[in-house]
Structure 1
Amino acid sequence: MENVQYAEELVREFLVFRGFTNTLQAYEAELSTEIGRNFEVDKILDLVFSVYIPKYQLDRLLSIFSFLKQCFTSPADTVLYTALLKLEQSVLRYYVVNALKSGRQEKVVEFFSASGSYLMQKREDWIAWFAIPYIKNPSLDPQFRMYFSKEWSDTLVLSFRNFLSGIFNGTRIPALLKISTEKNMIKCLKSDIKQLNNKLSELQALLEVKEVELSLLRRSGNSIDSGHKNLLEITTFGSSVDGQAFSGVYEESSTSSIQGVDSHTLSSVKSRDEKLCDSSRMSNAENEQILVSEEDFPEVKVDFQFHK
């Protein structure tokens, strides 16, 4: 709605600027009829069934269909154009039925007097309707009974709604409306950019605070690491000193043990050699005694005699 009003003001401003006074008057007159109603289906339906028909504004009712034919349909589009002609015929018949229900037969006569030739050119099935103002109780007539029922009027309103929704949804947006739309879009984008800049400033400030905190944490971590390193060096140095002392004691003990083993081994070997020497001496002495005793006894010769 805002876009349409903005576009209308642009047109009005341009006509005043160029001095098109007659065009401006016609433009204002067209706006006052509210034809099109900003392409809003509900408002158009409200105009047709709540204003133009109840108030018998036949000219404005016909102008709506003329507007729809010129702007949204063409004879080349046979399906859409035929559907619009059928809707126009049904709405005009509803106009006649509403006048008869209200007891306004003169409005029916005026309707046929003003639009008779037009109706006969379009559809021949209007011929029977020219007699309806003169029929007593037309709602009971089999030929017209259907048009006086609520079901038919409800179906007509629904069909008209669906038709308008279909043609308006597929309508190209006028360039003037795009100008207003783009203007609003630019305004929204500027607002979004401003909000994003504010958010960016907040995030940058928060980032600076976090960087300061991180720097403090790093300094604290370096101090702790330095303390741990010093403590580790002291512990390593103490362990090294203790290891060297233990190594010296171990070497001394090992040397003493080796020396003890060597002295014991030497004494054992020496004792064994001495025993072997004594044994050898005793063996030699015994051999000498045996030789001496053999020399003390002379050799005895024995002669063997054989008896014959």
Structure 2
Amino acid sequence: MAHVQFVDELVREYLLFRGFASTLKAFDNDLKADKDKGFRVDKIIEQIMHFINVSDLNGLKEYWSHLDSLIFTKLEIHVQPAFPYIQKPEENPSFSLYFTRAWQDSVLVSLHNLLATVFQCMPQPTLTSYESDAILVKKLQDKLAAVSGKTLQQQPMDKTSPTTHQSRLSQYAERLSGTAPLVDDFCAVPSEQLDSTREARGLRSLLRMGNTPVMGRKAARSQSQN
């Protein structure tokens, strides 16, 4: 539960931001006297070993009672050990095992695993679950982005690509600018047919000119002379 320490820092920052000086001071004092050690298993084991190494039996009993009320009573574990008084128990075959280094290390490892498991299964306040919620939201956003990318890749491409459309525009611009050769629509018509057509048009033009005022004056002059 390493995130608990980070939440503690957030609370301190919030109290400082709000100007709750007395509350912040009380909060810091409570953190210093915190028997739960921020739910850090290594710190709890270290505190237990400290009481054992300095032979502080009262401190060990008090600290164990705190752990019992916090953890062990909720697990429905009720153990009332009773040992008879034996001189030199380390030499007694029934208890000599408990004085070996291997057994002590095994007990510490078992206690460490027990506390770690219990702390992970404890009900968490809403404030401490924000990190897991943020991670979950980030995963959902990544999945959504991946699905959106696959959907875009699966969409059919447009038949008219931008390159083809651009080339058509370029060809049309060249035609307008005159760079491309112009095609004569009458190039397929035979030249003889064009000559006969031109002669017929010229004859009709001459006939029409007979009705002009100039031709009329010439005709009137010839009649007066006769």
Larger Rg computed on CA atoms: 1
- 1 or 2, which has the higher helix percentage? 1
Q: Which TM-score applies when normalising by structure 1? A: 0.38
Q: Which TM-score applies when normalising by structure 2? A: 0.48
